[in-house]
Structure 1
Amino acid sequence: MFMKAAAQHGAGVDIREVPRPTPGPNDVLTRNHTAALNRADLGMAAGHAHGAAGGAGTVLGLEWAGEVVEVGANVTRYKPGDRVMCSGLGGFAEYGVADQRRVFPLPGGNLGWREAATLSVALRTMHDALVLNGHLTPGQSVLVLGASSGVGLMGMQIAQHMGAEVVLGSSTTPERRKRLSEFGATGTVDTSAEGWSAQVLDATGGAGVDLVIDMLSGPGTNETMRATRIGGRIVNVGRLAGMRAEFDFDLHALRRIQYIGVTFRTRSVDEVEVISKAVERDLWGALEAGKLTLPIDRVLPLDKAQQALDEMAANAHFGKIVLECQ
């Protein structure tokens, strides 16, 4: 059996017929309704590896939502007909396969397919960064760098839900900064301003924040350390501003900062399962109550996958870009 999918080709993707995947013993096969774009899709579309995956012919798409069609012999939680949201690889297609440890049931009764496709990556990434690695506790202060991205918007909401007293979000665009309060921000930071750490110090009584969730990295890293309180933590989630930069080791030592790197590319599915269970434990009630949501900037059909990737690369969106797979 064959299906339509967006597969890597040249410097982008093309739409082609590929074999429909078959679930293994621990997998669920889904009929995909929607899929959401992530920054990693851009690199894979260009032909770069993402962990062990990638290369010519790879079906893109790290997260999607759909209906279970078939389950493997070892799967007990899900059955055909269940509505689920998945992460893994191959979401830009009419059907997808995900290990059961990468699958969530749709929370609540009213969540639509478009919204469901946007949640899996952001929930795991930000709960892992804020709680499991960032050790956020109630009453602390948080700065999310790159806050207008989908994961950034979710990060601010999770921080607020977990009890952060101060939640700062950064964006270099005034229009986007104005919207961050809708997603949990108590204040904003313009990282395009020289010496922008002063904005953070002003918001925290001169101390700096307890925890930075950094999706930018690059040449602003030393300024980020100046914005972090003595004894604080920086969790390096993304490198949107650059993979390499000058690092002031003396500043790092003087402020006694814990600098923590995270990625899902080197995690096993067992490790992902631990994170998934923590997400359900801490966040599922808020999800079912509609308190953790992401804005959808635009929706395009699967046939327009390359256009969707181009629009993400242009960085003109706020929130998530979604593909309709059926």
Structure 2
Amino acid sequence: MKRKGIAALLAVALFTVCLAGCGQTEPVQESSNPTTQNSQPETPSSDPESSESETDSGAGADTTVNGDAPAVYMTTDISSEGLMAIYNALEASPTGNIAVKLSTGEPGSNYLRTDLIGDLVQSLEATIVECNTAYGGSRSNTAMHYQVAEDHGYTAIADVDIMDEEGSITLPVEGGDNLTENYVGAHFENYDYFVVLSHFKGHAMAGYGGAIKNISIGIASSEGKTNIHTGGKGGSMWSGEQDAFLESMAEAGKSVVNSLDGNILYINVMNRLSVDCDCDGNPAEPDMHDIGILASFDPVAVDQACVDLVYAAEDGQSLINRIESRNGLHTLEQAEKIGLGSRTYQLVSIDE
């Protein structure tokens, strides 16, 4: 099952192609969760003007190619050099106190390794930032979390800041269907620019994790994570309604982008494409090939492009099943609806 217009994506080299998002038929439910309902996503408009991101790029860089849909840059070179090249393709000029937001990952997970990201982080003279988890594990309190960051090599390449070690601050949520405010780590306000560096993969609750999850759940404090999971209703984070949770991720993400006034960019690394996320210390072994690194000033566009590449892959069915069994595409639907970004984009290969 493949999406319209993307069957030849991986053969793209040095040209631009405009892609609309999903349009699959007969969603496949994952057998491990047969009661989860799937909604068939609508195909985004092919007219770039109808869905172009409202997000400002910041730092004077262009968000689009030829003034049309948001540009998503791609390389198949998953290396330190490839990561630097994809960052440079954005022609961004971050200033001030720069944060690199990533997932430090549970021990044993597929977290981003320092031999891949170290050169980029150090070239930016950035601080690696994270927030504590709300589910227990090895990163649920600050002391344990700093130890994990050290064990995974992050403290050797940069300063690390667990942003909610001194609690939360609130950001207003505008135009949301579930949230009116978003609780983020109190140190969030110490940074002028965010480079959002995400490992794209599956997720047990969200279906997939990429840029939107990293700026919502990832920047939310421990209490903020519960707020998102429950759709703003509070209580146990495991008792929330699924679609409200997915929508709340998009809404929380928009509050972060609005507060930064465009001083943010997004890089998704598509390697070790397990159906499980980096919050799982015993993830399923990936059964599909690595794809590449993608970057954009639009979080919706870069996540949609990653999803489309998974659907185009001949060996992507396990991850497709995970996404659909959790109705994961609904996050993208809500994100575009509230103006976080565009599901229509132009994919630009930087490979020679």
Compute the TM-score of the two structures, normalised by the length of structure 2.
0.26
Compute the TM-score of the two structures, normalised by the length of structure 1.
0.28
Larger radius of gyration: 1
The answer to which structure, 1 or 2, has the higher relative contact order (CA under 8 A, 6+ apart) is: 2
Name the structure where strand makes up a greater proportion of residues: 1
